[in-house]
Amino acid sequence: MVTRRTPAAEVRDALIAAGHRVLATQGVKGLTVRAVATEAGVAPMGVYNHLDGKDGLLAALVGDGFDRLRAATVASTDSDPAVRLRTAGRNYRTFALENPTLYRLMFSGACPVEEAGVAALGALTELIRFGQAAGIVRDDDPVELTMVIWSSVHGAVSLELDASAPDTVTVDGGRVFDAVLDMIERGCAPG
Amino acid sequence: MVTRRTPAAEVRDALIAAGHRVLATQGVKGLTVRAVATEAGVAPMGVYNHLDGKDGLLAALVGDGFDRLRAATVASTDSDPAVRLRTAGRNYRTFALENPTLYRLMFSGACPVEEAGVAALGALTELIRFGQAAGIVRDDDPVELTMVIWSSVHGAVSLELDASAPDTVTVDGGRVFDAVLDMIERGCAPG
DNA sequence: ATTGTTGTAGTACATCGTTCTTCTCTAGAA
DNA sequence: TTCTAGAGAAGAACGATGTACTACAACAAT
């Protein structure tokens, strides 16, 4: 039997997919080079050949995560600007809740934010500009507004992820998140 | 020479202090049991005798961090409610910027939030109640308001810490933070 | 067909968190 | 004061981790 060599890109994708799987099931602590390689059906050295070791694997996973986060955020195409922005916020939260470990990893500072991260940020700014054009968002610097709104949304999601471990706080996450969105709406309204 | 045995509490405090020092200089990655023990002038086993291994050390550091964060937040005693709340927010940010690694660790989900964390949260709620009594904060549920405001402040600080690695975003952190505070003020005003 | 490049497998090594063993010191009861 | 159980200290040792090294197999280009 002749063992065919798998194409390089295929192995790379398999490793990243395996990384996401391990991350979701075993957590950050279980994300070892050996575990990911085994899950992908590859020797541990594959992580060094196709990615740049563990750091490269992390960077690839985080980059992939930002791509998916951006896609989830811009998914809404509702014509009403208010519900479009609110849906974007809710989709953002849904992504974080569905990929808690990945989301935390993305903002853990473990690997420097790169291309995909700034792309996601740019998509957010585009959303803000859309809201400004519709007249429901105040006419400040869009980039600064993006950081302000993103801060609140990201903070709400982060705290919800942290509190989900025990029942530290008895407040309902969804209610708080909607309250944050309400506050943003009031605080960023024109005038 | 007779070697006196150091009191237990003293060794514990020395270990925690050493942990903070290592955390500040070497980062989370450098925070190893051996490094902390050496820095404290103790055998590695001391971390297991006086704390509960590395997890216990982390929990102690995080708990200490929450205590200091609470102290920094309630430090302002200005009579004017508006400046008191704003100063609290700025002191919160200052603490995070001065202890970036510790702050990230506190919210990394590595160790479950405990007593000190909910105490800090309670202090924030007290601050909100103060603002409500002064009539500058809307009359919603104080606990929910706390989570909402905390979300925004925490998010702004988190993003600033992440972006500080390279010069990903060219926006000034202080300006964005003040803009967040402005938005909170507008979004949480009565009426 | 030959050759140089690239991925593969397996091993090997330093370091991590943690446990075990042994010995010494301390604290409380007789 | 003396004796004795218990807690702490030191160091070696173990499993697991990230990573480097070595030799061999598979492809691409000449």
pLDDT tens digits for range B9-38: 788 999 999 999 999 999 999 999 999 999
The CA-CA-CA angle for residues A146, A150, A153, to 5°, reads: 150
Residues of chain B whose C-beta is under 8 A from some C-beta in A? 104, 107-109, 112-113, 117-118, 121, 140, 143-145, 147-148, 150-156, 158-159, 161-163, 165-166, 168-169, 171, 175-176, 179-180, 182-189
| pLDDT, tens digit, 9 for 90 and up, residues A6-22 | 566 788 999 999 999 99
Q: Which of A112, A140, A156 sits opposite B155 (nearest CB)?
A: A156
Mean pLDDT rounded to a whole number for chain A = 90
Percent of chain B with pLDDT over 70: 92
Residues of A at the B interface, defined by Cβ within 8 angstroms: 104, 107-109, 112-113, 117-118, 121, 140, 143-145, 147-148, 150-156, 158-159, 161-163, 165-166, 168-169, 171, 175-176, 179-180, 182-189
Task: Give B129-138 pLDDT, tens digit per residue.
Answer: 999 999 999 9
CA distance A8 to B141: 56
pLDDT number for residue B3: 42
Give the Cβ contact number of residue A47 at 10 Å.
Answer: 25
Quickly list DSSP for B111-161: S---HHHHHHHHHHHHHHHHHHHTTSS--S-HHHHHHHHHHHHHHHHHHHH
pLDDT for the residue A94: 98
Residue of B168 and B160 predicted with greater confidence = B160
Is the confidence at residue A164, as pLDDT, over 70?
no
pLDDT tens readout for residues A113-135: 788 999 999 999 999 999 999 99
> Which string of DSSP letters, residue by residue, matches chain A?
---PPPPHHHHHHHHHHHHHHHHHHHTGGG--HHHHHHHHTS-TTHHHHHSSHHHHHHHHHHHHHHHHHHHHHT----SSHHHHHHHHHHHHHHHHHHSHHHHHHHTSSSS---HHHHHHHHHHHHHHHHHHHTTSS--S-HHHHHHHHHHHHHHHHHHHHHHTTTT---S-HHHHHHHHHHHHHHHTS--
Give residue-wise pLDDT tens across range B62-85: 999 999 999 999 999 999 999 999
Q: How confident is the model at residue B1 (pLDDT cuts 50, 70, 90)?
A: very low
pLDDT at residue A109, as a whole number: 84
Contact A152 B183 (CB under 8 A): yes
User: Is the pLDDT score of B169 beyond 70?
Assistant: no
pLDDT at B43 over 80: yes
Contacts of A23 in chain B (CB under 8 A): none
Angstrom distance (rounded) from CA A56 to CA A52: 4
Q: In whole numbers, what is the pLDDT of chain B averaged over residues?
A: 91
Q: Mean per-residue pLDDT for A156-180?
A: 82
With CA atoms as reference, report the closest residue to B17 among B42, B49, B53, B52: B42
Q: Identify all chain A residues contacting B187, using CB atoms and an 8 Å cutoff.
A: 182-188
Lowest mean pLDDT among A17-21, A35-39, B4-8, B106-110: B4-8
pLDDT of residue A146 exceeding 90, the answer is yes
For A30-78, write each residue's pLDDT tens digit.
999 999 999 998 889 999 989 988 999 999 999 999 999 999 999 999 9
Contact A159 B147 (CB under 8 A): yes
Whether the CB-CB separation of A43 and A37 falls below 8 Å is answered with yes
Q: Measure the CA–CA gap between A31 and A18, rounded to whole angstroms.
A: 10
> Which residues lie below 8 Å from residue A97, measured CB to CB, with a gap of 6+?
A157, A160, A161, A173
pLDDT band at A2 (very low <50, low <70, confident <90, very high): very low
Token representation of residue A17: 């997919």
